[in-house]
Amino acid sequence: MTSNKVALVTGANKGLGLAASRHLAQQGITVLMGSRNAAKGKAAVKLLQQEGLAVEFIQIDVTKSEQIRKAAAEIKKRFGKLDILVNNAGMVSKEEPLVSNSAGEIKPRELRKVFDANFFGLVEVTQALLPLIKKSGSGNIVNISSILGSLALQSKDSEMAAFKPFAYDASKTAVNAFTVHLAAALKDTTIKVNSAHPGWVRTDMGGPQAPIMPEEGAKTAVRLATLGPDGPTGKFYYGDDELPW
């Protein structure tokens, strides 16, 4: 299957980003695999190229404005448009375990570090690429969020409410706010903007106990990345299930 679509996946050198890149490339989409580390990024690209997939390396540390600008210029020059943006790059703070509630003590410096990668970087990447996404006939922006960022679930007696690493959760709540606001800003265009929760996935971030493998976990993002023009926008999904904000 071939397509003339071009996608960018950030944080694509491992985990969910690598799996999403594989799924998209298997659909004939040219995938630019973003990685902040050139050696790791190129190794991941090589792996998928050996599977016969059309993928390329592009260097993006989402916290580095200069790299974001350079990547956008390169995509403009090479392709003149971008059809799919999967904002996948993300981190957790080593200072807040998943089962902690760190709101009372997380250091402002650490809070800023997590927000820089998970939120400010994601917004900056999206804004830099928006002119190119507008050139696509039907652009799709997928923000990889987390169910832990759902205020509706965190604020009641839910299974999720036990997991309150504040910097991480709040950064994903902010990502969800960006999804809602950007979708509204683009409502008169064909561009869809949605948040995806991948499930609890066995990656370096999710840990070895996680029950879902990355190939499975990436499916929500891939579905949202390949929505047609009549698809939903401004929503939060896990699989086909809509999650509460």
Ligand X SMILES: NC(=O)c1ccc[n+]([C@@H]2O[C@H](COP(=O)([O-])OP(=O)(O)OC[C@H]3O[C@@H](n4cnc5c(N)ncnc54)[C@H](OP(=O)(O)O)[C@@H]3O)[C@@H](O)[C@H]2O)c1
Site string for ligand X, 22-61 (x = CB under 6 A): --------------xx--x-------------------xx
Q: How distant, in Å, are the alpha carbons of 85, 148, 224 from that of 163?
A: 28, 7, 26
Give the containing element (helix H, strand E) for 143.
strand 140-144
Q: Tell me how far, at minimum, the Cβ of 232 lies from ligand X, in Å.
A: 20
165 counts as binding ligand X under rule CB under 6 A: no
Question: Could you confirm whether 237 is annotated as catalytic?
Answer: no
89 counts as binding ligand X under rule CB under 6 A: yes
139 counts as binding ligand X under rule CB under 6 A: no
**Contact (Cβ atoms closer than 8 angstroms) between residue 82 and residue 75:** yes
Cβ-based nearer residue to ligand X, 7 or 16: 16
200 counts as binding ligand X under rule CB under 6 A: yes
Of the candidates 43, 54, 151, 210, which one interacts with ligand X according to CB under 6 A?
210
Q: Of 92, 88, 188, which Cα lies nearest the Cα of 141? A: 88
Cα separation, 239 vs 176, in Å, equals: 16
Cβ-based nearer residue to ligand X, 231 or 238: 238
Q: Of 97, 105, 88, which Cα lies nearest the Cα of 12? A: 88
Catalytic residue among 166, 168, 200, 237: 168
Cβ-based nearer residue to ligand X, 204 or 241: 204
Strands of the sheet with 6-9, listed across from one edge: 55-59, 30-35, 6-9, 84-87, 140-144, 192-196, 236-238, 241-242
Which amino acid makes up residue 144? Answer: I
Lookup: tokens for 43: 């190794």
Q: Tell me how far, at minimum, the Cβ of 226 lies from ligand X, in Å.
A: 18
Of the ranges 83-91, 132-140, 159-167, 234-242, which one interacts with ligand X (CB under 6 A)? 83-91
Q: Tell me how far, at minimum, the Cβ of 177 lies from ligand X, in Å.
A: 16
Of the ranges 9-17, 96-104, 126-134, 182-190, which one interacts with ligand X (CB under 6 A)? 9-17
Q: How distant, in Å, are the alpha carbons of 7, 89, 200, 218, 225 from that of 194?
A: 15, 16, 19, 14, 9
Lookup: tokens for 125: 């990447």
- Considering CB under 6 A, how many residues would be counted as binding ligand X? 31
Sign of the C-alpha dihedral, residues 238, 97, 215, 79?
positive
Of the candidates 62, 75, 133, 243, which one interacts with ligand X according to CB under 6 A?
62
- Point out the residues that are catalytic: 168
Per CB under 6 A, residues contacting ligand X are 10-11, 13-17, 36-37, 40, 60-63, 88-91, 117, 121, 144, 146, 197-198, 200-201, 203-206, 210
